[in-house]
Amino acid sequence: MLRSAHPPTLETMQAMAEASLAALPAEFRTKLGEVVLRVEEFATAEQLAAVDLTDRWQLSGLYEGEALPDRSIWASGRMPAQIWLFRQPLIAEWRETGVRMDDLVRHVVVHEAGHHFGFSDDDMHRLEDDAE
């Protein structure tokens, strides 16, 4: 999405997130097949507390679920993992940084998908630093 005066709707941001997942290499997409993508305006108080935050403007994305390396073949009946994007904090970052919204959404989706594969925030920051 090119820079425009109007931020994307929830539906448009959902489509961007889905396109970001669809663009991942097949070996990752197949392992993300059960993950549910959700876009909401803000994180809930419970979601914020889970990552030790209190300011709803500070959380633009969240992975909820059990990472693949932590799963047991003996566990059953678990709910699918979820990747959450929070529209208002993403819009604030978009306005502040000038980064294209589709690039920002892709970055958050990939970051949260990394948690599904067992990467910590520190792991992902190191990978990003090494890539630059």
**Span 30-79, pLDDT tens digits:** 888 789 999 999 999 999 999 999 999 999 999 998 876 566 565 666 77
Domains of the chain, with CATH numbers?
10-69+78-131 (3.30.2010.20)
Residue (of 89, 106, 92, 93) closest to 1 by Cα position: 106
Taking the model in full, what pTM does it have?
A: 0.85
| 77-118 tens-digit pLDDT | 677 889 999 999 999 999 999 999 999 999 999 999 888 888
Categorize the per-residue pLDDT at 2 as very low, low, confident or very high, splitting at 50, 70 and 90: very low
